[in-house]
C-alpha cells in the first residue's frame, strides 16, 4: 500500500499544465500495464507523467491538409516556445472549433501529447486537440500563472517518486534551466 503510484493512476488523469519549452523536450513515452486499453503517458522533463495536457497561447498558423481526410495542423506560441497542435476526423469537436478560428488568436487547448520522429530523426511532440477554444488574453495570462505555479511545484517537489528519478536520468536538465523559462513566461505578462 506504500506504492502510491499504483493508486494514483486509477483516477482520471488530470490535464497537466506545461510550457512549450518543456513539452518540446519530452520524448520518453510509455504504457502502464500490458493490456491494450492501458493509458499511454509522456514523461515530462520536470518529472511527472501526462496523458493529457492543457495549454494556451497565440495561434499563429493554421494549415489544412490537402488530402481527402480533413486534418488541421496549427502552431500555438506561448512565451517560452511553440506547441504543435493537430486535429483530425477522430476529434470532430476540435476539428469544428479549429475551422472557425483565424490566426492570430488567443486559444486554449486540451489534448493528448504524442511523440513523433521527424525525418531527420529528431523527436517532435505534437498535441492532438480534443478541444480548442478562442479566448481573451486574460485567460492565457491565468494559464501562464497556473502553469508557472504547477511547473515550480514539479521542480521543487522533494520526492523519491520513480517518475521523478526516471526524468532526472533521461532528461538531465537542471531545475535552474526550467526556472529561467518560468521567469520568461512570468515576465511576458504586462500589468
Partner 1 sequence: MELKEIADRISEKFSTAGHQIDRAKLEEKINRFVEEFSVPPAEAERSITADYARQFGMELSSSAPSRQDADTVTRISDIQAEQWVTVEGQIVTLFPSRSPSVAQSGVISDSGGTMRFTVWAKANAPVMEQGKWYRLESAVADEYNGQVSLKVHSGTVITELSPESVPKTEITSISDIIPKRWISVEGEVTTLFTPRSPSIAQTGILADSSGTVRFTVWASAEAPLLEQGHWYHLEPVETDEFNGQISIKIHGGTKIEPISKDEIPPIELVSIGQLKPGVATLEGKVVSVEKQYSEQIIQRGVLADDSGAVRFIIRNTPGAEPLVENHWYSITGAVVDRFRGALSVQVNSGSARILEVDKSIRPNIIPITQAGPGIVCLRVKMVQEYDNTSDRLFQAGLLGDESGTIRFVTWKDENAPRLDPDNVYSIYYASVDEFNSRLSLTLNGATCIREENVTIQVRTSNEEVSGALVHLSPGSGLIKRCPVEGCGRVLSRQNYCQVHEIQPNYIYDLRVKGWLDTGVKTYDTIISREGVEELTGLNLISAQELAENDPLGLDTVFYHISEQILGRYLVCRGRSIDNRFFAYNCEFKKFEPGLHAELINRVEGSSHE
Between 70 and 152, whose beta carbon lies closer to partner 1? 152
Query: In angstroms, rounded to a whole number, what is the distance separating the alpha carbons of residues 146 and 144?
Result: 5
List the Cα angle 137/140/144 in 5-degree steps.
135
Site membership for partner 1, residue 156 (CB under 8 A): yes
CA-to-CA separations, 10 to 6, 110, 132, 133, 188, in angstroms, rounded: 7, 20, 26, 28, 37
Of residues 170-189, which lie at the interface with partner 1 (CB under 8 A)?
176, 179, 182-183, 186-189
Site membership for partner 1, residue 8 (CB under 8 A): yes
Site membership for partner 1, residue 101 (CB under 8 A): no
Determine if residue 86 is left, alpha or beta; phi over 0 gives left, psi from -120 to 50 gives alpha, anything else beta.
Answer: beta
Distance of closest approach, residue 69 Cβ to partner 1, in angstroms: 18
Of residues 66-95, which lie at the interface with partner 1 (CB under 8 A)?
75, 77, 79, 82
Interface mask toward partner 1 for 107-146; x: CB under 8 A: -xxx--------xxx--------xxxx-x--xx-xxx-xx
Interface mask toward partner 1 for 18-37; x: CB under 8 A: -----------xxx-xxxx-
User: For partner 1, how many residues bind (rule: CB under 8 A)?
Assistant: 73
Query: In angstroms, rounded to a whole number, what is the distance separating the alpha carbons of residues 185 and 172?
Result: 22
Cβ atoms of 30 and 163 within 8 Å: the answer is no
Amino acid at each position: 500500500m506504500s506504492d502510491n503510484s499504483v493508486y494514483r493512476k486509477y483516477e482520471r488523469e488530470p490535464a497537466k499544465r506545461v510550457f512549450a519549452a518543456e513539452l518540446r523536450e519530452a520524448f520518453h513515452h510509455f504504457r502502464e500495464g500490458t493490456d491494450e486499453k492501458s493509458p499511454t503517458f509522456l514523461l515530462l522533463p520536470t518529472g511527472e507523467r501526462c496523458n493529457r495536457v492543457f495549454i494556451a497561447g497565440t495561434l499563429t498558423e493554421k494549415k489544412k491538409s490537402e488530402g481527402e481526410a480533413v486534418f488541421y495542423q496549427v502552431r500555438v506560441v506561448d512565451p517560452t516556445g511553440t506547441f504543435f497542435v493537430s486535429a483530425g476526423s477522430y476529434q470532430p469537436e476540435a476539428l469544428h472549433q479549429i475551422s472557425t478560428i483565424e490566426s492570430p488568436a488567443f486559444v486554449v487547448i486540451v489534448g493528448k501529447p504524442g511523440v513523433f520522429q521527424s525525418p531527420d530523426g529528431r523527436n517532435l511532440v505534437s498535441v492532438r486537440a480534443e478541444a480548442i477554444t478562442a479566448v481573451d488574453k486574460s485567460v492565457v495570462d491565468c494559464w501562464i500563472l497556473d502553469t508557472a505555479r504547477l511547473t515550480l511545484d514539479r521542480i521543487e517537489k522533494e520526492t523519491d517518486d520513480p517518475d521523478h528519478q526516471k526524468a532526472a536520468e533521461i532528461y538531465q536538465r537542471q531545475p535552474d534551466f526550467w526556472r529561467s523559462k518560468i521567469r520568461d513566461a512570468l515576465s511576458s505578462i504586462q500589468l
